Structure 1
Amino acid sequence: MPLVSTGELVADARTSGRGVAAFNVITLEHAEAIAHGAEQAGAPAILQVSENAVKFHGGGPSGLSAIAAAATAVARASAAPLSLHLDHVMDVDLLRAAHPEGFSSVMFDASKMSYGDNVKATADAVRWGHERGIWIEAELGKVGGKEGEAPLDAHAPGVRTDPAEAAAYVADTGVDALAVAVGSSHAMTERTAALDHALIAALRDAVPVPLVLHGSSGVPDAEIRQAVASGMVKINVGTALNTAFTGAVREYLAGDAKGVDPRKYLAPAREAMAGTVRGFLALL
C-alpha cells in the first residue's frame, strides 16, 4: 500500500491510548522483516533509518537515497500501514535530504548542544520541516548508550527530562513529538531498564505533544505496557532486532561451518527479526 505518514500513525495511536512501534532499518532484510512482522500482527509500524545507518551505506544524501529507496519499495509492497522516519539526525544537510526521499518525519537530534543552542537549532529544523509537511521529533534530556558516547547512568542526577523545561522547550521549538529521558538507554542487549512512570505521567501532562521512548529494546514488557498507559506513544526499537538477527546467523553458521551462501543464514535472520517485530506489536 502507499506509504502513510508518521504523524498520522502517532496521532491514531495517541487517540486510541496505545503505542506505535518504530523499528530501525539497517539492511534490506530489516525492512522486509518489519513489514512481514507488521502484516502478521495486523498492525501499523514505522520504518526508521538513523544517521548511523546512512553512514553505513556510504553517508550523505547518496547513502540516504539507497536505503530509503529499499525501505520505500518494501513498504509499498506491504499490506501493512507503514511510514518512513529519519532518526537521530544531527547533520543539517541530511535533514534537508529527507523530503525528496519520501520521509514524512525526522527526529532532529540537537541533544548534545547547550539548551539554548538546542532550542535554536531545533526551531530552525521545525520551521524547515513544517514548510514541507514533515513531522519533527526532538529530544530533551540525556538518553545514553548512543554509539561513540561514554556510558551514562540513566538514573544519574540531571539526566532525566524535567517537565517544566520540557513544556518550555516544546513551546519554543514547535516540535511535533518529544523524546524524553525516563530511565531507558540505547543499545541495551538485556531487558532490565526500570522506567520512571511518575515522570512519564508528569511529562504527558506538561506537554501537548506525543512522547517518544528511545532505547525500548532494553525495557521489559510490563514496563513498556505501563509506559504506554502513563503516556508514551512512539516506542523505538533497534537493538532487539539486531540481537535476533545476529543470534540466528550465529546459530546457522555453528551448524554449517563450510556454508558460503548468505541467503542460507539471512533467511532465518530475517524471520527471527520478524518474530521480534510481532512480539513488540502485540505488546503495544
Structure 2
Amino acid sequence: MPLTTTADLVTRAAAARRAVAAFNIITLEHVEAVVEGAESLGSPVVLQVSENAVAFRRGDVRPLARAALAVAEQAAVPVALHLDHVRDDTLLKQAADAGFSSVMYDASHLPYGENLAATRAAVGWAHGEGLWIEAELGEIGGKRGAHAPGVRTDPDEARTFVADSGVDALAVAVGSTHAMTSRTAVLDHALLARLARAVDVPLVLHGSSGVPDGELTAAVVGGITKVNVGTALNLALTDAIRVHLAEHPHAVDSRAYLGAGREAMTRTAARIIRVLSPP
C-alpha cells in the first residue's frame, strides 16, 4: 500500500472520533511489530522516529527511516512516517528528504515566548516543505513532575499559542509522563475537555505507555486524536528477551530472542490500537 501522511490519518481519526496510534521505533523489529499489529486489526498507524533514536543510530536518520519506509510500502494498511521530539534544526530540515510527512518540533523546554518564536519559525519552514507539524505546550513529565502546579497546559495559553504559531497539532500536558513503566497515570479529563474547546487543531497525548486502557479510551472520547507510545513496546521487547534467555541460557542466535521480542511487541501494538477505537 502506498505510504500515506500523518495529516491524512489524524484527519480521518478525528472524523471517526477515534485516535491514531503513533509508535516510536528504534529497530527493524519495532517497525515490523507495529505494522503487523496494525495489519491484524486492519487499522492505520504512524511510525515515529525520535531525535533520541536518531542519536542512538549514530546521528543518521536515513537508515532507520528507509527501513520504515520499505516496510510501510509493503503494508496492508495505511502507514505514515513521523519525526518526533525534534529540537535540532539541522535534523528538522532533513525530515522531508528522509521521507517523513510530519514532524513534532519540541521547544517546550523553553520559556513561552521563546517556545512560540522557535515553533513559529519551524512551522514556516515545515509548511514550505509540505510537512504537517506538531508542537508541545506544557511539561509532559516535566522536571517538576506531571502533577506539580504549573506544568499542565493552560487552555487560554494554548489557544493563543496555536493561533500565533500556526501549528497543525498540539501535544498537551494533562497528567501523562514520558517513559513510565507502570500503567498508573491518571489524566485530567476536565482539563482535556477545556483544551478541546479552546483550540481548533488535533490534540496529541504523549507518554501514553503509563496510561491505563480505560484512561486512554476516555481521553479519545474527550478529544485526543493522536496517541504516542514508546516505552510499552520496549517493555514488551525486553521482557520477552529476558524470558527467552532465561529459558535458553546457552542461546546465541539473536534471531530467536529478537523474534520473541518482536512477537511480544506485535501483541502490545495491537492491544493499544484496539483501545484507541472506542465503540
Q: Same fold (TM over 0.5)?
A: yes
- Runs of 4+ residues over 3 Å off in structure 1: none
Paired position in structure 1 for 2:23: 23
Shift of 1:41: 1.1
The match for 2:210 among 208, 218, 237 is 218
SS in 1 for 2:97: helix
* CA deviation profile, 1:211-269 (whole Å, cap 9, x unmatched): 00000000000000100111111000000000000000000000111111100100010
CA offset at residue 114 of structure 1? 1.1
CA distance in 1, matches of 2:121, 2:76: 36
Q: Could you tell me which of 83, 88, 93 is aligned with 2:85?
A: 88
The one-letter code of the counterpart of 2:40 is Q
Match of 2:205, as an amino acid?
Answer: L
Unaligned runs of 5+ in 2: none
Cα offset, 1:155, TM superposition: 1.1
In the alignment, structure 1 residue 56 sits paired with structure 2 residue 56: yes
Aligned partners of 2:22, 2:221: CA distance in 1, in Å?
Answer: 18
Amino acid at match of 1:57: R
Correspondences of 1:255-274 after superposition (within 5 Å) = 255-274=247-266
Q: CA deviation at 1:132?
A: 1.1
1:82 CA displacement: 0.4
Query: Do residues 182 (structure 1) and 179 (structure 2) align?
Result: no
SS at match of 1:240: helix
Aligned to 2:220: 228
Give 2:27's aligned amino acid: T
* Among 190, 195, 217, the residue aligned to 1:203: 195
User: Structure 1: 5+ residue runs without aligned partners?
Assistant: none
Match of 2:12 in 1: 12
State percent identity of aligned pairs.
60
Q: How does 1:122-133 map to 2 (within 5 A)?
A: 122-133=119-130
Which one of the candidate residues 270, 275, 278 is aligned to 1:283? 275
Q: Distance in 1 between matches of 2:251 and 2:266?
A: 23
Distance 2:251 2:220 in 1: 44
Deviations 1:159-202, CA, capped at 9 Å, x for gaps = 10000000000001000000000000000011000000010010
Q: Which amino acid aligns with 2:178?
A: H
TM superposition shift of 1:80: 1.3
Q: RMSD of aligned C-alpha atoms?
A: 0.7
CA distance in 2 between partners of 1:283 and 1:194 (Å)? 16
Give the aligned partner of residue 33 of structure 1. Answer: 33
Structure 2 SS opposite 1:47: strand
Corresponding letter in the other structure for 1:12? R
Secondary structure in structure 2 of the residue aligned to 1:155: coil
Equivalent-residue separation in structure 2 for 1:144 and 1:193 (angstroms): 11
Return the alpha-carbon distance in structure 2 between the equivalents of residues 112 and 132 of structure 1. Answer: 25
Count of residues in correspondence between the two structures: 276
